[in-house]
Amino acid sequence: MTPKGLFVSFEGIDGSGKSTQARRLAETLNARGHETVLTREPGGSPGAEEIRALVLQGDPDRWSAETELLLFTAARRDHLERTIRPALDAHRIVICDRFADSTRMYQGLSRGDLRGAVDQLHDLMIGQEPNVTILIDMDPAAGLARAKARQTAEERFEDFGVALQEDMRAGFLALAQEFPDRIRVIDGNRSEEAVAQDVLDAVETCLP
């Protein structure tokens, strides 16, 4: 725990179980008397939720990778200003379903190499990393099948198909090697309970 609360993010491909595990972690920590704020990206503040609809709905070709990068960064900046920083200042545990690592992957890798631009914009406009990131590693086809079974309007990225999921999985595992002190890799191809126990073990080491 830093003097200003604890910032936990969940990352992984679509359908890997991030939302399920983020919710379970919040419930477990709340039951133990911690004050948590469960939030998500894109979104997590009223303005960022409006941007969410722009980036997650519609045709896969609706935006270029560069335009998307600006939209996701604008949403993150608003989320940081209005939700994350106030919660950390109030010493809460922020549990965020996706954060900047998703931009490093989806906008940085998916359509050419934009990682340099992603990093520059992050340094300029965000400048904050989670204290700990849980990467739920998952078979790409199984993740996509789980995600597609939800049948929501927010399928723009899922419509890029399994090849994108495969690239993202490999990219996330490489990112875990780039940030070994922050990112913990957990095998998501197991029961919800087994994954939840590993998540709790990883987060507990960061609690006071």
User: 130 contacts which partner out of ligand ADP, ligand TYD, none, CB within 5 to 8 A by kind?
Assistant: none
Kindly state the smallest distance separating residue 18's Cβ from ligand ADP, in Å: 3
146 lies in the site for ligand ADP, by CB under 6 A: yes
| Member of 15, 43, 140, 171 binding ligand ADP (CB under 6 A) | 15
Instruction: Return all residues near 134 (Cβ < 8 A) that are at least 6 apart.
Output: 8, 9, 10, 11, 21, 184, 186, 199, 202, 203
198 lies in the site for ligand TYD, by CB under 6 A: no
Q: What is the SS3 assignment for the chain?
A: CECCEEEEEEECCCCCCHHHHHHHHHHHHHHCCCCEEEEECCCCCHHHHHHHHHHHCCCHHHCCHHHHHHHHHHHHHHHHHHHHHHHHHCCCEEEEECCHHHHHHHHHHCCCCCHHHHHHHHHHHCCCCCCEEEEEECCHHHHHHHHHHCCCCCCCCHHHCHHHHHHHHHHHHHHHHHCCCCEEEEECCCCHHHHHHHHHHHHHCCCC
Fill in the per-residue mask, 30 to 69: x = in contact with ligand TYD (CB under 6 A), - = not in contact: -----------xx-------------x-------------
Kindly state the smallest distance separating residue 139's Cβ from ligand ADP, in Å: 11
Identity of the residue, 1 or 120, whose beta carbon is nearer to ligand TYD in the bound complex: 120
147 lies in the site for ligand ADP, by CB under 6 A: yes
28 lies in the site for ligand ADP, by CB under 6 A: no
Identity of the residue, 15 or 108, whose beta carbon is nearer to ligand ADP in the bound complex: 15
Identity of the residue, 96 or 147, whose beta carbon is nearer to ligand ADP in the bound complex: 147
Please give the residue ranges that form the binding site for ligand TYD (CB under 6 A): 14-15, 18-19, 41-42, 56, 72, 97-98, 102-103, 106-107, 147, 157
Q: Which spans of this chain sit near ligand ADP (rule: CB under 6 A)?
A: 12, 14-20, 146-147, 150, 191-192, 195
